[in-house]
Chains A and B, each alone.
Chain A
Amino acid sequence: NAGVTQTPKFRILKIGQSMTLQCTQDMNHNYMYWYRQDPGMGLKLIYYSVGAGITDKGEVPNGYNVSRSTTEDFPLRLELAAPSQTSVYFCASKPGQGLNEQFFGPGTRLTVL
């Protein structure tokens, strides 16, 4: 199993550009998450999904959108990039409801100039 994979690893955007961060997991996990991590800080939840077709907002959803058309994929969309969205973005998944471990991808480092 590859686990949780994210692409791209790095990206530089200009203000106002849009992009999609890709996340795929091959563990057949129902729950998937998007976090952002600012330098030297903890993780903040952007959006999460408990299954295909179901998404919900986290702590910091403004400026982002998600979709979950399949169990495997959970892309994160930035429509109008702003410097405040410069961060490292992590995707994570877990099997289901409860105290399961969240498995994290390697992250995407995004810079908005």
Chain B
Amino acid sequence: TQLLEQSPQFLSIQEGENLTVYCNSSSVFSSLQWYRQEPGEGPVLLVTVVTGGEVKKLKRLTFQFGDARKDSSLHITAAQPGDTGLYLCAGARAAGNKLTFGGGTRVLVKP
């Protein structure tokens, strides 16, 4: 059972375009993290959101946690080839000792 569904699974865009990745669940999470993974490497944390309705910005990346803490989105403005990678959302419950990962969204930004 995939508790966290990410969409789309794959996204190919031109440099300068905007994109949004979605992470949805029927379950409530106490916090949610977004990671980016490049080929041949492990995931690296981008952001943690903990409050329903929270919005965090990291340069051209905007992260939002849904009011009910069941969903999240990642928006990239004016994408660059360096944004290419696999984006993973991961939810935690209660103490946050374990993460449940979504299936990932593979983003390709073409120059």
Which of the candidate stretches B58-66, B69-77, B95-103 sits at the interface with the other chain? B95-103
Jot down 24 A-B pairs with beta carbons below 8 A, ordered by A: A31-B97, A40-B9, A41-B103, A42-B4, A42-B6, A42-B88, A43-B43, A44-B101, A45-B100, A59-B100, A97-B95, A97-B96, A97-B97, A99-B31, A99-B33, A99-B92, A104-B41, A104-B42, A104-B44, A105-B42, A106-B41, A106-B42, A107-B40, A107-B42
Q: Which residues of B contact A90 (CB under 8 A)?
A: 42-43
Give the contact-size bracket for chain B.
20 to 34
CB 8 Å contact bits of A75-113 with B (1 = contact, 0 = none)? 000000000000000101000011111101111000000
A66 at the interface (CB under 8 A from B): no
Beta-carbon contacts under 8 Å, A29-46 to B: 31, 35, 40-45
Q: Which residues of A contact B41 (CB under 8 A)?
A: 104, 106-107
Which B residues form the contact surface with A (CB < 8 A)?
Answer: 4, 6, 9, 31, 33, 40-45, 48, 50, 88, 90, 92, 95-104, 106
Q: Is the interface of A mostly helix, strand, loop or mixed?
A: loop
A90 to B99, CA, bound (A): 14
